[in-house]
Structure 1
Amino acid sequence: MKSKSLKSQAPGLLLDDQLCFALYSTGLAMTKVYRKLLRELELTYPQYLVMLVLWERDELTVSEIGERLFLDSATLTPLLKRLEAAGLLQRARAIDDERQVIVSLSAAGRALQAKARAVPESVMCAAQCSPEEAAITKKSLEKLRKRLMKNT
């Protein structure tokens, strides 16, 4: 049975016209690139993001990491537990407020940073774009994210 084209009946509902699909499918492609690169580091993409945050600034609370990554603690806690089990970080209750959990890098977590140095350049090679084009795209996406966050 041949499917009918509904283009004339539903303008604006074409998959290829959707911004959300362009973002979604690009995200999938980017994640595939990272999955291949991060296999050597034995990290998933979300774990890599957590490590990036901690390499930037060590000894953060779970909520600070969550704010940085736009993740809630229910999503972040299992990630942190797996990274702790892998020996890359430690979690400890804050002395002054036991409700807060402080996350800090272990020696192995700090050492992993050196192995990860090649990842950003490899991603740029896979994307085949100039640093200028990447910066413009990144800035546009950040602007879009900020606008969307106002409506959530």
Structure 2
Amino acid sequence: MRTLKQLKFSNQLCFPIYALSRLITSHYQPFLGELDLTYPQYLVMLLLWEHQSMNVKTLGETLMLDSGTLTPLLKRLEAKKLIRRVRSKEDERVVNIQLTPQGAALEQQAAETPLRLAESLGITATEMQDIKDAITPLLYRLKPALKG
């Protein structure tokens, strides 16, 4: 049976990226379990620790999540008292997500997570940054295609 070279499994870009994403996410689990966060909840909290407040639309665009995925995630974080949803006074269609004091305090507990992850993966912080620097440009080049 003849297989076209471009269709060989070993020549595919998608599988190593897909498998690596799953494996890295699984390495986060013990650390995030200590914080009582899922991986998507952790991503939301990272953005809020950085910006203090974001509207739902910007949060969804940044995380590349649609409202059907983001809304239940935010409800669970609100139930844990880590965030609060506040309607904008200027435009009631806009919902802002803000950290609660409890959510802000969780940042200190999470501070070592990136270093612990690198250690768990057996790579240095520099190697982790190099990998991120290599893939991020492609991610953002492809991101506009998600909207179409």
TM-score, normalised to structure 1's length?
Answer: 0.89
Q: Does the Cα contact within 8 Å between 2:115 and 2:125 map onto a contact in 1?
A: no
* 1:69 match: 63
Pairing 1:144–2:135 present: no
Q: Sequence identity, in percent? A: 41
Structure 1 gap ranges (5+): 1-5
* 1:107 match: 101
The correspondence of residues 117-132 of structure 1 with structure 2, limited to 5 A, is 117-132=111-126
* 2:44 match: 50
Counterpart residue type for residue 117 of structure 2: V
* 2:76 match: 82
- For this pair of structures, how many residues does the alignment match? 146
Structure 2 gap ranges (5+): none
- Structure with more of its chain in helix, by fraction: 2
Q: Does the Cα contact within 8 Å between 1:54 and 1:104 map onto a contact in 2?
A: yes
* 1:60 match: 54
Pairing 1:22–2:16 present: yes
The correspondence of residues 34-45 of structure 1 with structure 2, limited to 5 A, is 34-45=28-39
Shift of 1:101: 0.4
C-alpha RMSD of the superposition: 1.4
Q: Larger radius of gyration, structure 1 or 2?
A: 1
TM-score, normalised to structure 2's length?
Answer: 0.91
Q: Does the Cα contact within 8 Å between 2:32 and 2:38 map onto a contact in 1?
A: yes
Runs of 4+ in 1 over 3 A off after TM superposition: none
Which has the higher mean CA deviation after the structures are superposed, 66-75 or 99-108? 66-75
